[in-house]
Homo-oligomer: A and B are copies of this chain.
């Protein structure tokens, strides 16, 4: 198909498609003369993936590059694959908050109590410290008991993540990398709906003040 048809099929403007081509987010079409290129279903799938990563995943163009690189050149081990997937969703500009060298902060104590096997220098640890600091500054989540309950509930979500990794290696790579990005908005929406249900059953007749 021509670029105009690729645009019609995906609902993405020709100008945006040309931008994706320049940015190498979309591989060039097969050349059909000096001014024409031919696109196929792999291009349609790639454009939809880029849109999903930007719209639903909220990723920057640089992050989309990282995800696509990881899909095209998957790491050798499960461990590295997970690390790559996680690094695509973690904001690097939080690094300043990352370094708490003493190991006796709230996050280290939580991980100790839970007995989780995580790398202490993992970006996700820094991300948790930063997110907790913001929540604490706003006066929410100051109870260690509540934090631990959230951690145990999150472990249930991660169990589903890890249990659902497909056996076929290529699907597994897609699932781990895209699932880390694209399931987050699904989980957020499920949390909101579950809150409605939990609240309907508990507070239906109570007033807030």
Q: Interface residues, chain A, CB within 8 Å of chain B? A: 48-49, 51-53, 55-58, 74-82, 86, 89-90, 111, 114, 116-119, 122, 124-125, 127-128, 130-132, 134-135, 137-141, 143, 146-147, 149-165, 169-175, 178-180, 182-204, 206-209
Do B186 and A132 have beta carbons less than 8 Å apart? yes
What separation, in Å, do the CA atoms of A88 and B105 have in the docked complex? 31
Do A207 and B161 have beta carbons less than 8 Å apart? no
Q: Known contacts A140-B174, A198-B158: does B81 contact A135 (CB below 8 Å)?
A: no
Closest to A186 in B: B131
What separation, in Å, do the CA atoms of A48 and B153 have in the docked complex? 28
Would you mind naming 25 contact pairs between A and B with Cβ atoms under 8 Å apart? Answer: A51-B137, A76-B208, A77-B208, A78-B199, A78-B208, A79-B200, A86-B196, A114-B197, A117-B200, A127-B189, A128-B193, A131-B185, A132-B186, A134-B182, A138-B182, A140-B182, A141-B179, A149-B160, A150-B190, A151-B194, A153-B157, A156-B156, A157-B191, A162-B199, A162-B202
